[in-house]
Structures are given as structure tokens and as C-alpha cells.
Structure 1
Amino acid sequence: MRYALLLLLNMNKEVLLLKRCNTTFGNEQYSMSGGKVEANETARQAIIRQAFEELNIKIKSENLEFVHLLFRKGNDNIIFDAGCFKATKWEGSLKNQEPEKCSKINWFKLDNLPENILTAHKQIIELVQKNTYYSEHGFVD
């Protein structure tokens, strides 16, 4: 399965995270915005769509910078890959558009992420700060 994630940063070097609820995975944990890449859609297009659907903001393609690719093994050996794009510029006012899936949205300092964050998302955020563009999660050496 292909996913696209959004690392949304503000001028205070804070990342926007969503607290998940009523989902099939990661309830009560924080995550970046994003979701599945649909058929005939690029990862960049998926981020633009998801940002509007989840957060009520419009991001132009030229304001998205690819920053990381995560290759992850999930439950039942299902393999996922997630392309993460960073944006520091967008239009519109942030608003939780999916309260049935997200109980809140909050800004967090990059060096003070919440304890209840999805492990893979924390890994991505930390590696992006080190300019590391690829990682794996869930595999045993």
C-alpha cells in the first residue's frame, strides 16, 4: 500500500500533528496528516487532497518538498511505503475537518514531540531533521 504524509511546519519550527480517534490503527496517538494514495494519483496529489480534506488548507505542488521515504512492515507482514513531503507555505486557516477520525490538532516543537506519537512518524520527523531521506521500520536484521 502506498501512503503520503505531510510534515507541516510553521515559522516557529513546530510540526502539526493530529490525534487519531475511531480509526483502525493508532487510536489516541498523534500522527502527521496524510493517507492512502488513490488509484491514478501521485503522492504529491494525495498530499494536496489530504491537506484540504483533513485540515482545510490548500498547498500548491511547488510548495511541497520531498523529504523522506519510509519502507515499513506492518502487522501480518503487510508492506507499506510512505513518501513524506514537507510544506512551510499554504493557504487557508487550519481546521480539523474530520473530527470523527481526529480528536484534535496541535503544534509541537520538533525537539519536544508527544510521547503518544506513532513510532514510525516520530522516526520520520527525527530523520528528516538529520537530512536522512530513507528508512525502514518493523524489520528484524
Structure 2
Amino acid sequence: MTQLHHTGRPADTATRTPGTDPLTLVVGVHLVLADDGAVLLGRRRNTSYAAGLWHLPAGHMERGEPVTRSMTREAEEELGIAIAEDGLELIHTLHHLDADDGRSRLQLFFRSDRYEGTVRNAEPHKCEELRWWPLDRLPADIVPYTAHALGEIARGNPLSTIGWPA
């Protein structure tokens, strides 16, 4: 029998069966700003992931913040706009197995029809340019999981997976 530490966790995790530990996910947040059949994408630059490719305004959750704050923070940092947390709508969840590093990632895609400010490239050191792209003519050089998610959103699918063995 495993002895419990005062925290309620097993004192010796080396005796645990592989695969029984809770999964630690990287959680990404993505903003889908759509206007008249077009979506806002930014061309990434000076980044360790997908430099030169088009991607939605996005980022990762930080420790200690709720997912809605993560999304509004990223909108402020990248686009210079303010979005109320209660103005966000979760429109798609993507469970993504990253082929580059083998990590499991939960990608959350939000929409907001209301924001304050003017959309601008607030991080030119990380984003070469912002551009509105017709949803039916996305660029060829787009982050693959972004294209996948936008297609699923267009089909009305709230959940998808990508990168997992069949």
C-alpha cells in the first residue's frame, strides 16, 4: 500500500504504475476574429514555433489565470484590443498531439463579436504583419492545426483531434 504524504499525494511516486499519473497539458488559446467571411491572421516571426507561417492571434495559459483571462490578455498583448471575459464564446476545442515534441496540447478557440480599441499589430517583434483572409481562401503557408480548426469551425464541429495515430 502506498503511504500518503500530508498533501494527500503518494509519498513515493516511483512505485506508481506507468500511465496512471494525471496528464499535464499545454493549453493554447486562440482568437477567431471574423468579419464578412474573412478571418484575421498574423505572420509569425522571431518565434521558436512556426516562424514565417500564418496563425490566429494566440498564446498559452499562464499559471494562476483562468482560461478566459488568458485569451483576453493575449488579445491585449498582440492586437491592442480589450475584450471582456464574459464576451468570449468557446467555439472549438482541438486536442492536438504535436509531432515536433510529442506533447499533448489542448487548443481552445474563442470568438468575440465585441471589443474596445482598434486592431493593430501590437507585437511587431513577434508578428511580421496582420491580414484578413477569406475563410474559403486561407494562405497555403498557415500553421496546419490552425487550418484544421478553422475548417472544423466552418463545419460547426465543436471538437476535433489532430496528430493522433489512427
Aligned to 1:92: 117
Q: Please give the residue correspondences for 1:1-141 in structure 2 after superposition, counting only pairs within 5 Å.
A: 1-10=26-35, 12-74=36-98, 75-141=100-166
Shift of 1:90: 1.2
Larger relative contact order (CA 8 Å, sep ≥ 6)? 1
Structure 2 Cα separation of the partners of residues 40 and 123 of structure 1:
29
Q: Amino acid of the residue matched to residue 91 of structure 2? A: V
TM norm structure 2: 0.81
Shift of 1:112: 1.0
Shift of 1:138: 1.0
Question: Does the 8 Å CA contact 1:7/1:86 hold for their aligned counterparts?
Answer: yes
Larger mean Cα displacement after TM superposition, 85-94 or 29-38: 85-94
SS across alignment from 1:77 = coil
Structure 2 alignment gaps of length 5 or more: 1-25
The structure whose residues are more often strand, as a share, is: 1
In the TM superposition, structure 1's runs of 4+ consecutive aligned residues that sit over 4 Å from their partners are: none
Identity among equivalent positions (%) equals 28
| Shift in alpha-carbon separation, 1:67–1:125, aligned structure 2, 3 A | same
TM norm structure 1: 0.95
Shift of 1:46: 0.7
Structure 1 Cα separation of the partners of residues 142 and 85 of structure 2:
27
Question: Does the 8 Å CA contact 1:64/1:86 hold for their aligned counterparts?
Answer: yes
Shift of 1:88: 2.2
Q: CA offsets, 1:53-100, max 9 Å, x none?
A: 000001112321111111111123111111111122211011111111
Alignment size in residue pairs: 140
Structure 2 Cα separation of the partners of residues 13 and 60 of structure 1:
23
Structure 2 Cα separation of the partners of residues 36 and 83 of structure 1:
10
